[in-house]
Amino acid sequence: MTDLLLTDPPAAAAEAAAELARLTGVERHDVALVLGSGWVPAVDLIGETVADVSVADLPHFAPPAVEGHAGRVRSVRAGNTRALVFLGRTHYYEGRGVEAVVHGVRTSAAAGCRTVVLTNGCGGLNPTWAPGTPVLISDHLNLTAASPLRGATFIDLTDLYSARLRTLCRTIEPDLAEGVYAQFRGPQYETPAEVRMAGILGADLVGMSTTLEAIAAREAGLEILGLSLVTNLAAGMTGEPLNHEEVLEAGRAAAERMGRLLAEVVAQL
């Protein structure tokens, strides 16, 4: 495997951005949104779809692997803002390597974006957060033991999740909760003991995405907004086992609220 994605990730991102511009007819985009579990149904509220592309038609993107994740990229116009909306993402647990996980973020930066909105569905550790509760990510614990950075790239992650953008979200939804997101490798959900461990370490949310993308986004100079949708209480907090259908249902139920929030954020960037 001597794919450009592995030998020169920025060059791979530049190739993908050029093809994206060609296929969408949009030369540059302003903001990228990555819609994770539960967020995809919100896409139609963000703005007017100008173009819809399969990631399979873009250089160095992996085909989608998870049900409920569409594997498409839309160019959406919201007023004067051009948004690039990824419907689904490549997860680290798919085993395609960290370069594949962060390729969308790097492509977004190469496409001109200055801001990225990383969304996910996750488990919540706060028992007052019912399924369908949106939470602003204030900070993260990267528990994957992986990094998208190579060599001695000593990047500062203080205020990784933009305080400015969190404040903006609160002008739209004043009661938005905020919390620390822990990324586990997955794909299995946590054991109850792992959920207790995450809580002791300072996590409020547990999921399988976002932190590696946020690190790559910071390296690329993007301002980052992280938004989680609590789709289930984390393992062991109720007597019930977790299931993927519950995740999808919480997303469908919260889609309108999430869509309105994302549309307002994009409009006010």
Identity of the residue, 159 or 240, whose beta carbon is nearer to ligand 8IG in the bound complex: 240
Alpha-carbon distance of 47 to 40, in angstroms, equals 14
Identity of the residue, 108 or 232, whose beta carbon is nearer to ligand 8IG in the bound complex: 232
Strand partners, 75: 51, 84
Strand partners, 197: none
Identity of the residue, 208 or 262, whose beta carbon is nearer to ligand 8IG in the bound complex: 208
Q: Which residue of the chain is nearest ligand 8IG when measured via CB?
A: 123
CA 14-15-17 angle, 5° bins: 65
CA-wise closest residue to 266 among 33, 6, 1: 33
Alpha-carbon distance of 81 to 89, in angstroms, equals 22
Q: Does 207 bind ligand 8IG (CB under 6 A)?
A: yes
Q: Exactly one of 15, 190, 194, 219 is catalytic; which is it?
A: 190
Of the candidates 83, 116, 117, 122, which one interacts with ligand 8IG according to CB under 6 A? 122
**Span 2-61, contacts to ligand 8IG by CB under 6 A:** 37
Q: Does 184 bind ligand 8IG (CB under 6 A)?
A: yes
CA 108 to chain centre: 12
CB 66 within 8 A of CB 120: no
CB 33 within 8 A of CB 258: no
SS in 3 state form for 37-48? CCCHHHHHHCCE
Identity of the residue, 61 or 189, whose beta carbon is nearer to ligand 8IG in the bound complex: 189
Q: Does 206 bind ligand 8IG (CB under 6 A)?
A: yes
Of the candidates 99, 190, 204, 219, which one interacts with ligand 8IG according to CB under 6 A? 190
Binding marks (x or -) toward ligand 8IG, 230..259, rule CB under 6 A? -xx-x-------x----x------------
Alpha-carbon distance of 191 to 193, in angstroms, equals 5
In three-state secondary structure terms, 131 is coil
Identity of the residue, 76 or 101, whose beta carbon is nearer to ligand 8IG in the bound complex: 101
Q: Does 132 bind ligand 8IG (CB under 6 A)?
A: no
Pairing status of strand 72-78 against strand 177-183: unpaired
Cα distances (Å, whole numbers) of residue 1 to 4, 22, 90? 9, 27, 19
Contact window for ligand 8IG (CB under 6 A) among 166-174, 217-225, 226-234, 253-261: 226-234
Contact window for ligand 8IG (CB under 6 A) among 3-11, 57-65, 98-106, 116-124: 116-124
Residue 190 a catalytic site member: yes
Return residues touching ligand 8IG (CB under 6 A). Answer: 37, 121-123, 184, 186, 189-190, 206-208, 231-232, 234, 242, 247
**Which residues are catalytically annotated?**
190
